[in-house]
């Protein structure tokens, strides 16, 4: 566990950059095309297979190499909001009138960070981890695209969602 935590901490600078990259290029609900491509190319680099769900949803599937049939799902939403960013930060939104004001840039980066660690550890677990990158959460479309009905009928397992808490201190890198 300590090893996992220290590996996560070591990845922190690149995860911050990743999150800022998503923050610079926000996309509205159901138009998350570049975001989905970015996610897919990162999953490719990690050796995680994936499928596009609808236009902009991505489902990654990571199989553990030990015996086992349990499934756990980790989920992040990917869309941004029609809000003008006013913050003067280096990573401010490059798209007029759209910004990641709800933290989905961080949700997505966190899930990719977890995916990387899990992919490195795939020989330490059995069963399957599903990585859900859900579009359209801000307009309530995520169930429709989702990843839920067709893909989860035969599934019994656990679903973990990402959320941010500003009150928690950030770990130092
Ligand atoms: Zn949201």
What residue ranges do the domains of the chain occupy?
2-161
Mean pLDDT of 121-125: 96
Sign of CA dihedral 55, 149, 162, 29: positive
Task: Give strand ranges (E) for the chain.
Answer: 49-53, 57-63, 66-77, 126-134, 157-161
CA separation for the pair 78, 33 (Å, rounded): 10
What integer best gives the mean pLDDT of the chain?
89
Q: Sorting pLDDT into bands at 50, 70 and 90, what band is 165?
A: confident
Q: Report CA(133)–ligand 1 centroid distance (Å).
A: 13
Q: How confident is the model at residue 121 (pLDDT cuts 50, 70, 90)?
A: very high
**CA 140 to ligand 1 center in whole angstroms:** 10
Mean pLDDT of the region 103-118: 97
∠ at Cα 113 (81, 159), nearest 5°? 75
Which helix (DSSP H) or strand (DSSP E) does residue 2 occupy? helix 2-24
Residues 64, 17, 139: CA angle, nearest 5 degrees: 75
Residues at Cβ < 5 Å from ligand 1 ion = 102
Residue 156 CA to ligand 1 center (angstroms) comes to: 26
The Å distance, Cα 111 to ligand 1 centre, comes to 15
Q: How far is the CA of 30 from the centre of ligand 1 (A)?
A: 13
Per-residue pLDDT at 15: 96
Task: Please say if the pLDDT value at position 40 is more than 80.
Answer: yes
What are the angstrom distances between the C-alpha of 52 and each of 23, 47, 56, 68? 22, 16, 7, 26
| Measured distance CA(99)–CA(102) in Å, rounded | 9
Return the pLDDT at 149. Answer: 52
Give burial (CB, 10 Å; 0-12/13-18/19+) of 69.
exposed
CATH assignment of 2-161, among 3.40.630.10, 1.20.120.550, 3.40.50.620, 3.30.70.360: 3.40.630.10
Residue 20, pLDDT score? 98
What's the confidence (pLDDT) of residue 67?
96
- Tell me the mean pLDDT in the region 88-101: 97
pTM of the model: 0.90
Ligand 1 center to residue 138 CA distance, Å?
A: 6
User: Could you say which DSSP state residue 99 is in?
Assistant: B
DSSP designation for 81? B
């Amino acid at each position: 566990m300590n090893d996992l935590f220290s590996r996560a901490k070591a990845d922190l600078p690149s995860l911050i950059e990743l999150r800022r990259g998503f923050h610079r290029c926000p996309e509205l609900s159901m138009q998350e095309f570049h975001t989905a491509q970015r996610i897919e190319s990162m999953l490719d680099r990690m050796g995680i297979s994936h499928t596009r769900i609808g236009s902009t949803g991505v489902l990654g599937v990571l199989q553990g190499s030990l015996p086992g049939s349990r499934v756990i799902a980790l989920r992040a939403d990917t869309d941004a909001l029609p809000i003008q960013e006013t913050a003067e930060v280096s990573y401010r939104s490059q798209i007029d009138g759209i910004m990641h004001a709800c933290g989905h840039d961080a949700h997505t980066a966190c899930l990719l960070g977890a995916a990387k660690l899990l992919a490195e550890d795939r020989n330490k677990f059995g069963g399957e981890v599903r990585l859900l990158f859900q579009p359209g959460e801000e307009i309530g479309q995520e169930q429709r695209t989702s990843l839920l009905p067709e893909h989860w009928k035969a599934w019994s397992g656990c679903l973990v969602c990402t959320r941010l808490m500003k009150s928690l201190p950030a770990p130092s890198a």
